[in-house]
Chain A
Amino acid sequence: SAVISQKPSRDICQRGTSLTIQCQVDSQVTMMFWYRQQPGQSLTLIATANQGSEATYESGFVIDKFPISRPNLTFSTLTVSNMSPEDSSIYLCSARDGRTQETQYFGPGTRLLVL
């Protein structure tokens, strides 16, 4: 199994600012993903982080708002840009190694509050 860590674990931010969340996996994985989990709700996929190329975004999410980087097979960042209170949520990093197994693992999440 993959062990995933995220930084920061939580943050309180002012509207209009940006926050970058880091995700580190303890092994090389082919696929990394970013999800959002709003209070009391299920997980919504924001985008698939592609190594060496632009991320693939789901409907309703755009690169200008959620720029993503993935410089190698173990690390990715998600930036929440120009934040508003509606961005308050838990952001989760996830990883799956399609070469060896199809189980998708999740990080502990970053709890974001925007004032």
Chain B
Amino acid sequence: AQSVSQHNHHVILSEAASLELGCNYSYGGTVNLFWYVQYPGQHLQLLLKYFSGDPLVKGIKGFEAEFIKSKFSFNLRKPSVQWSDTAEYFCAVNPLGSKLSFGAGTTVTVRA
């Protein structure tokens, strides 16, 4: 079955540490890729997206993601996290002409 996999369920790190969250998908063909973030008590917000072009995309709050087509991956990175980055992060994949599918989510806890 086609799916979206996020490798880490819960990540705990200290402020200023680097963050990388893995996301792989199993859809063939052209896809649009997204990372959404859900801060505690808040609603889902778009962090960044990839449709085409440069596979390294930059989003809000210093986040970036790299699309590697050969690996069916779209990993999220941030060089130096802050306490305010504590949130739930969801990878989502939208095969063209189909529906948006979400990964299970990764809870990121940043310790001050």
- Residues of chain A touching chain B, judged by Cβ–Cβ distance below 8 Å, are 1, 33, 41-43, 45, 48, 92, 94, 96, 102-109
Cβ-defined contact, A45 with B99, below 8 A: yes
With A42-B102, A42-B105 given, is the CB distance from A102 to B44 under 8 Å?
Answer: no
Tell me which residues across on chain B come within 8 A of A1, comparing CB atoms.
46
- Which are the 8 A-B pairs with shortest beta-carbon distances? A108-B43, A106-B44, A42-B102, A43-B102, A42-B104, A42-B105, A102-B32, A104-B100
B positions within 8 Å CB-CB of A: 32, 34, 36, 42-46, 49, 51, 90, 92, 94, 99-100, 102-105
How far, in Å, is B98 (CB) from chain A's closest CB?
11
- Minimal beta-carbon separation of A6 from chain B (angstroms): 9
Do B43 and A42 touch across chains, with their CB atoms under 8 A apart? Answer: no
Chain A residues with CB under 8 Å of B45's CB are 106
- The distance from the CB of A50 to the nearest CB of chain B, in whole angstroms, is 13
Taken together as a complex, chains A and B put the C-alpha atoms of A1 and B45 apart, in Å, by 11
Contact among A33, A43, A45, A94 for B90, CB-based, below 8 A: A43
